[in-house]
Amino acid sequence: MPEVGLAQLAPLTAVALLAGVVDAIAGGGGLLTLPALLWTGLPPHLALGTNKGQSVFGSFAALVRFSRAGMVDGRRARVTFPLGLAGSLAGAGLVLLVPPATLRPVVLALLAFAALFVGLRRGPPARPEGARREGTPLVAGAIALAIGAYDGFFGPGTGTFLIVAFVALLGDGLARASAGAKVVNFASNLAAVALFSIKGVVVWRIAVPMAAAQLAGGWIGAHLAVRRGDALVRRTAVLVTLALAVKLAWDMRS
């Protein structure tokens, strides 16, 4: 394994801070941190493990900030958190059986749809005051299980897919959907960190300083989403999905 000194840790920490902000708002922080870790010369399996080791702190900070703002539905979270955890564990197991590269064309199409959906969205559908969809926790649980499994299996676009699913299927506004997405994202990251730690593929001397930056970035990003609302989430989500789509399309050429 290559030596990673202060000259490389400093930019890695800066990238983690920015990634935490972006990820808290619309997902896609891994688009920044994973290439940065690979740039240091880490083998892919160590880069993936270390990436999860630091990103879990950003999703945790964002979740706490959203929760303090009253934007996390506790009734829903009691269902989505354990199912997101279970889904991620199942997905991580499946990745050993199916090559993740086979998912790239499907994910590329889904990301294009997500960018259009979020870009054209102008708020949640109108409902009578006090109205609540029956079966919402059940639908939310199915979303958490499916996308949690996707995160454990492959990963790119997880946060954005969660936001789109919560908006399209549960009628959430974009900012509230981003808060709900963090419940699942934290659960799936936590499951992945547990697995990667057991396998010894988290380089903690790199992950710890990046984790501190992710904590700060996650808090800042969630704070911005709380204050700026749907408009900020919409713009950021569209940029993230387009960037992810370009990256996946490029990867498919190699």
Q: Residues near 203 by Cβ (< 8 Å), separated by ≥ 6?
A: 1, 4, 42, 46, 49, 50, 53
What local confidence, expressed as pLDDT, does residue 56 receive?
A: 93
CA distance 196 to 177: 28
Give the SS3 label for residue 196: helix
- Domain segments of the chain as ranges: 6-253
pLDDT of residue 1: 60
Write the CB contacts of 238 (distance below 8 Å, at least 6 apart in sequence). 115, 118, 119
DSSP label at 218?
A: H
Quote the pLDDT of residue 7: 75
The model's pTM is 0.82
Chain-centre distance of CA 36, in angstroms? 17
DSSP annotation string for 62-124? HHHHHHHTT-S-HHHHHHHHHHHHHHHHHHHHHTTTS-GGGGHHHHHHHHHHHHHHHHH--SP
Q: What is the DSSP letter of 27?
A: S
**pLDDT digit string, tens, across residues 202-230:** 999 999 999 999 999 999 999 999 998 87
Mean pLDDT value across residues 91-104: 70
Between helices 44-68 and 30-39, what is the axis angle to 10°?
150
pLDDT in tens, 129-146: 344 444 578 899 999 999
